[in-house]
Structures are given as structure tokens and as C-alpha cells.
Homo-oligomer: A and B are copies of this chain.
Amino acid sequence: MRLVIARCTVDYVGRLSAHLPSANRLLILKADNSVSIHADDRAYKPLNWMSPPCRLTVEEDVWTVVNKGGEKLIINVEEVLHDSTHELGVDPGLVKDGVEAHLQELLADRMEVLGAGWSLIRREYPTAIGPVDILCRDADGGTVAVEIKRRGEIDGVEQLTRYLELLNRDPLLSPVKGVFAAQEIKPQARVLAGDRGIACVTLDYDALRGIEDDKLRLF
């Protein structure tokens, strides 16, 4: 990894055209040839970048990065204020916990959260337009499609609506009801769901995990 602090201008031509006027910035050149240009604010997003795989060529003070799609990043280095290179090695990578997949596992293992007597048919129930997160039966034996999101927004309701339309065309399954389950459901999504006859359930991740822990403790 090479770190350069330099006064530079940058031009990007690709999916759009963009230009950075002359200023002092951080240029990061990584082992995979990727390049990013950072200002002194905002942690996440570089001002400009070229993702790998790409090729970097240096001619005098003009650095050019191109990728296979023909996108081009041209850095004009006017003055170098710092330049250092460091060996980092391969990163072991990060361990995550708490994403939607985990919510789905937890809920599938504890269907009674949705109602007494509810039971799982299967997770990731396949359909022509994609898998339904959870297909289950309610206490009356009726089929229910459950869409799970971390944050429930309007597009999640649209997604579930498409699944329900499709599932209800199958006479073996119909009628299929819908449940929109999320840790947090936006008001607009709740209104749209109500309008479509879809029930909303907010999931308490810690409580679900607590139940799961209790279960594990039994073994």
C-alpha cells in the first residue's frame, strides 16, 4: 500500500464525467492496483476511486487508472507532500452478526412469535420470481408468506405483494396471506401493507436471540 499526500487534479470519465479541481488530497494505491482519493472528511466514501480489477500507469506526474469497462481515472499530481509505502499482507477479514439472514433463522426457529400454533413450511420457498423468505401455516392451517427485512420500507411491501400475487395463482396454495416482518417498519410501508391486506410485525432481535440462547442452553 502506497500513501501519497499531494496537490492534484482528478478527472473521471466512465459511468459519468467528474472533475476535481486542484487541492491537497490523500491518494491510496493498494496492492490490487485499486486507487482511491480522499479529502479530509467523510470516513466511508472517497472523492474518487477506481475499483479492482484495474490497471495503473504512471507517466511523469500523470497517473492513469483504467478498467476493463473503459472507465478512466486521470490524476494530475502537481506537488507531492508525502509518499510512503507499506507492506500489510492479506487481511483475515471480518466476522459479522445480526443481518437479515440471521433474523430469518431465528424467526424460522420460533414461528410462535407470529402467533400461537403457527408452524414453518420452509425457509427460502422457491418461486419463479425469487425465494419467499418464509412460508408457514397459521393456527387455522392457512398458508402465510413472510417477508423479512431489517428495515421495513415500501419496496419490501411491493416485493411481498408480487410473491402473494404469484402464490395465489397456485390453487394448491391459495389463499395465501402475507406478513411483513422487520425490526423497524416505516409508516409509509405500514400504510401500503394495510392497503394490501398485509399484516405487519416488528421483530425484537435481542428477544429472538435471547429465546434462541435459552433453547441452546437446554442442550
Question: Chain A interface (Cβ within 8 Å of chain B)?
Answer: 1, 3, 5, 10, 15-21, 23-26, 28, 30-32, 34-36, 38-52, 81-82, 84, 86-99, 129, 155, 158, 188
B94 touches A20 (CB 8 A): yes
B84 touches A18 (CB 8 A): no
CA–CA, A24 and B1, complex, Å = 11
A1 touches B40 (CB 8 A): yes
CA–CA, A34 and B41, complex, Å = 7
Report how many copies the assembly holds.
2
A30 touches B40 (CB 8 A): yes
Beyond known contacts A1-B40, A47-B91: 19 more, CB 8 A cutoff: A1-B26, A3-B26, A16-B96, A16-B98, A17-B98, A18-B97, A19-B95, A23-B91, A24-B86, A26-B88, A30-B43, A32-B42, A41-B52, A42-B52, A43-B49, A82-B84, A82-B86, A129-B188, A158-B158
CA–CA, A36 and B20, complex, Å = 22
In the complex, chain B residues whose CB is within 8 Å of the CB of A43: 28, 30, 34-36, 46, 49-52
B40 touches A44 (CB 8 A): no
B88 touches A40 (CB 8 A): yes
A40 touches B155 (CB 8 A): no
Q: Across the A-B interface, give the 3 residue pairs with the lowest CB-CB distance, nearest first.
A: A34-B43, A16-B98, A39-B91
In the complex, chain B residues whose CB is within 8 Å of the CB of A40: 1, 30-32, 88-91
A89 touches B23 (CB 8 A): yes
In the complex, chain B residues whose CB is within 8 Å of the CB of A96: 16-18
In the complex, chain B residues whose CB is within 8 Å of the CB of A51: 42-44
Closest to A84 in B: B82
CA–CA, A89 and B40, complex, Å = 7
In the complex, chain B residues whose CB is within 8 Å of the CB of A19: 94-95
A25 touches B98 (CB 8 A): no
Closest to A31 in B: B40
Closest to A42 in B: B34
CA–CA, A47 and B44, complex, Å = 10
CA–CA, A15 and B15, complex, Å = 31
A88 touches B49 (CB 8 A): no
